[in-house]
């Protein structure tokens, strides 16, 4: 059974870079067909898809965040990561990682989420 767990910096200063990692257990991060996503949810608001990386390393990002986002895979650690640069208070949110076995099947496994606050 696949399990995901987010970790990373919970407090980030404005203009700095937010860095989060999602540890994957119960399966390989390079299993064929899988995509690995980051989603965020500002306090009291809805879900925003940030981007995903395929098992083969190909990435796709939300256009509104594309200039600031990098998602990468670490095959040796079976994890994937999110970096979001030049953060502002608007980036304060609960950040989730999630997986999808095939692009059309939705995201069926989610991490518990990690809160990131942008503040000086």
Partner 1 sequence: DIQMTQSPSSLSASVGDRVTITCRASQDISIYLAWYQQKPGKVPKLLMYAASTLQPGVPSRFSGSGSGTDFTLTISSLQPEDVGTYYCQKCDSAPWAFGRGTKVEIK
Interface with partner 1 (CB under 8 A): 37, 39, 46-49, 51-52, 60-63, 96, 100, 103-108, 110-113
CB 32 to partner 1: min, Å? 18
Of 16 and 48, CB closest to partner 1: 48
CB 24 to partner 1: min, Å? 16
Of 61 and 118, CB closest to partner 1: 61
CB 27 to partner 1: min, Å? 17
Question: What separation in angstroms does the CA of 30 have from each of 41, 57, 63, 78?
Answer: 27, 9, 25, 8
**Rounded-to-integer distance, Cα 69 and Cα 80, Å:** 13
CA of residue 106 relative to chain centroid, distance: 15
Retrieve residue 22's tokens. Answer: 């999602």
**Rounded-to-integer distance, Cα 10 and Cα 82, Å:** 13
Of 12 and 96, CB closest to partner 1: 96
Dihedral sign, CA of 97, 41, 20, 116? Answer: negative
CB 10 to partner 1: min, Å? 18
């Amino acid at each position: 059974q696949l399990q995901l767990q987010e970790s990373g910096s919970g407090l980030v200063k404005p203009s700095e870079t937010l860095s989060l990692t999602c540890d994957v257990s119960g399966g390989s991060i390079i299993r064929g067909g899988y995509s690995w996503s980051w989603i965020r949810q500002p306090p009291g608001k809805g879900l925003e898809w940030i981007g995903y990386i395929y098992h083969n390393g190909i990435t796709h990002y939300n256009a509104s965040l594309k200039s600031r986002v990098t998602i990468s895979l670490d095959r040796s650690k079976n994890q994937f990561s999110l970096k979001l640069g030049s953060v502002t208070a608007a980036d304060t949110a609960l950040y989730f990682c999630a997986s999808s076995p095939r692009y059309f099947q939705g995201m069926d496994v989610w991490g518990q989420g990690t809160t990131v606050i942008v503040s000086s």
